[in-house]
Structure 1
Amino acid sequence: MRLDEYLSKDLIIHEISASTKEEVLAELVNAVCRAHPEVDGRAALKVLHEREQLGTTGIGDGIAIPHGKLSDLGRIVLSVGRSSAGFGFDSLDGKPVHIVFLVLAPEHVAGMHLRVLAHISRLLKDVAFRRALIEAPDANAMWELLSKA
């Protein structure tokens, strides 16, 4: 599995402008909606907020992986954002998030959805990969890292 199967360069936000969990989710969903106009942004945000109410997707080490399923989505879509300053995301370790991967999946691909989440989690456990992503000078450099992962 490679992330470039689900991610495109236009879905990478080199420097997230938002500073709260709600704003970050909206910024990532807006990027998805621009690239995939068929995605219902309101439904996506509703699903993501419902998932966050079950428990935070801020997994610690400066990482959040918000995710949800949409009934009318045709395939898994990823969006990635980076914040040099970090933002609050109610992370398990209480620290700011610097890297956020948004994963939206169709309701009928539960197994693949879980494999994508596990793949992202494994990648981000690698301290060198995480550091390279945080220090990437622009979206192209982030794409170079992510398209090979």
Structure 2
Amino acid sequence: MKLAELLHKDVIKLDLSATSKEDAIKELIDLLDENGAIESKEGFEKDVYEREAQGMTGIGGGVAIPHGKSDAVRHTAIAIGRTKQPIGWETLDGKPVQAIILFAVRKEDEGNLHLKLLAKVAGALARDEVCAALLESNSKDDIIQAFDEQEGES
């Protein structure tokens, strides 16, 4: 599955009002719910926090990639949000985050789809231009294009 199939403007919010990790996750879950990707916000949120309890999802550089494999997911989706101010998060570099990429994956999706998607996103974020688009661009299209172009080159 290509990232471009999952990245859509209607599940990207560049002005999250969240001031905490919990608020950011809730706002992104709301986006996924509004776009029909999940059938139970509470069920999906529970599964995201179960995963959060297993280890940090803040990868550093101002970015976190929380995710949940859940029966509450209708179809695999990715929501992207950016907070107005950096927020506290458990991260590899010990610094707060401002960009959050939330994966929603069905429990019974084939193989390790969530791991494949995480690897694709992590690979994209290794590129300066993708990080710059994610953290600085005011255009949802630019963010989608940065991920799409990187994936096309890999």
Report the TM-score, using the length of structure 2 for normalisation. Answer: 0.87
2:98 is aligned with 1:98? yes
Query: Paired residue for 1:46?
Result: 46
RMSD between aligned residues: 1.8
Question: Per chain length, whose mean CA-contact separation is higher, i.e. which structure has more relative contact order (CA < 8 Å, sep 6+)?
Answer: 1
Alignment of 1:68-147 (within 5 A): 68-109=68-109, 110-147=111-148
User: Gaps spanning 5+ residues in structure 2: where?
Assistant: none
Q: What is the CA distance between 1:58 and its match in structure 2?
A: 0.7
Contact 1:14–1:142 (8 Å) recurs in 2: no
Q: Deviation at 1:147?
A: 4.8
Aligned-partner SS, 2:75 = coil
AA matched with 2:40 = D
**How many residues align structurally?**
149
Contact 2:129 2:146 in 1 (8 A): no
Cα deviation per residue 1:50-97 (whole Å; 9 max; x = unaligned)?
Answer: 111111111111111101111243431110112352111121211011
Please give the secondary structure, in 2, of the residue aligned with 1:39.
Answer: coil
After TM superposition, the structure 1 stretch with the greater mean CA deviation from structure 2, 58-67 or 1-10, is 1-10
Q: Which moved more, 1:135-144 or 1:15-24?
A: 135-144
TM score, norm. by length of structure 1 = 0.89
- Aligned equivalents of 1:103, 1:37: Cα separation in 2: 11
Of 109-118 and 23-32, deviating more is 109-118
Distance 1:72 1:93 in 2: 32
Distance in 1, matches of 2:72 and 2:51, equals 18
Moved more, 78-87 or 15-24: 78-87
Q: Which residue of 1 aligns with 2:33?
A: 33
Contact 1:47–1:69 (8 Å) recurs in 2: yes
Deviations 1:110-146 (A, max 9, x none): 4222111100011111122101221212334333434
**Contact 1:32 1:39 survives alignment (8 Å):** no
User: Residue 12 of structure 1 aligns with which residue?
Assistant: 12
In the alignment, the residues of structure 2 paired with residue 77 and residue 37 of structure 1 have an alpha-carbon distance, to the nearest angstrom, of: 6
| Alignment correspondent of 2:67 | 67
The one-letter code matched in structure 1 to 2:89 is F
Once residues 104 and 9 of structure 2 are traced to their aligned partners in structure 1, the CA distance between those partners, rounded to angstroms, is 16
